[in-house]
Amino acid sequence: MRTATLAGRAALVCDGVALDIATASRGRFPAEPWLLFDRWEEVLAWSREADLTQAAPIDPAQLQAPSPRPRQVFAVASNYRDRPAVVPGGPDLPVVFTKYPSSIVGPNVSLPLPTDTVDWEVELVLVIGRQVHALPEELAWDAVAGVTVGQDYSERTLQLGGAAKQFSLGKSLPNFGPTGPVLVTPDELADRDDLHLLCTINGEVVQEARTSQMIFSVPELIARLSAVCTLLPGDLIFTGTPGGLGMTRQPPRYLSVGDEVVSQIEGIGQMRNLCTTPVGVAQPV
């Protein structure tokens, strides 16, 4: 199953067209996408018999975040084998932070640059489909409603430049968490554990990897996170980004006004973010 949020309403997606779920189900399911995750198994069962004859073409301008109101957003640092570690951690300990929910937006938004040290990070993002705690690895994929594309945009001066590192604040400025374009259930993917990721800037490839290169796999991440926190329907997990970041280049390279960042993942789709005029300056905290 593929779903999307179109103009604030949950939609079933198939071959470039979308069916409004609330309308097509005759009110059985709500229009608000964040409420669907509490009934995800029901939605899945209904989707198999849904009548797509009333589906309409998708307007990309109306696409919003597939899970637009997550109660919790988890993010993992340095989770690819080709990434030089930039934070404490190790092979047995993933480093986890959060992006505040106000940064979560749709796939094709502009990216206002608050400074000249904004970096890119393409990531596979998980959306949780049921409440779980202390879930073993072998059951972890069963808790995933679907996967989507994400960008963990990062203002490096705020994140790393001060006496106190501000990971969460440096990654939570307006529009710093675009996700989309759709949410794809794991059964739709050829190999849910080995997906190709790509990020380009103005057509130049800056990141390319496969999710099989993650240090902590999807099941491991869910098991480790749920061992501590209760994961809730609609929660997001940014699973980490591969090498190729601006801050690791010599000299460092960051985003500029006019740059177009395209992020894509095999079997899911792509997002486009145009970097725009600064709207303020991020100050150290």
* Structural domain for 39, as ranges: 2-64
Quote the number of domains for the chain.
2
Is position 283 within any domain?
Answer: no
| Residue 6 pLDDT > 50 | yes
Whether residues 119 and 54 share a domain: the answer is: no
Whether residues 6 and 49 share a domain: the answer is: yes
Phi, psi of 178 (to 5 degrees): -70, 140
Whether residues 118 and 12 share a domain: the answer is: no
DSSP secondary structure string, 219-242?
A: HHHHHHHHHHS-B-TT-EEE----
Reported as a single tens digit per residue, the pLDDT across 114-129 is: 999 999 999 999 999 9
Whether residues 106 and 83 share a domain: the answer is: yes
Q: Which of 44, 64, 84 is the last residue of a domain?
A: 64
Whether residues 38 and 174 share a domain: the answer is: no
Reported as a single tens digit per residue, the pLDDT across 52-100 is: 999 999 999 999 999 999 999 999 998 999 865 555 555 566 899 999 9
Neighbours of 147 (CB within 10 A): 27
Distance (Å, whole) CA 42 – CA 28: 10
Whether residues 190 and 79 share a domain: the answer is: yes
Phi, psi of 28 (to 5 degrees): -60, -40
Is position 124 within any domain?
Answer: yes
68 residue type, one letter: P
Confidence of residue 163 (pLDDT cuts 50, 70, 90): confident
Whether residues 97 and 55 share a domain: the answer is: no
Whether residues 234 and 158 share a domain: the answer is: yes
The CATH number of whichever domain residue 99 belongs to comes to: 3.90.850.10
pLDDT of residue 74: 98
Reported as a single tens digit per residue, the pLDDT across 184-226 is: 999 999 999 999 999 999 999 999 999 999 999 999 999 999 9
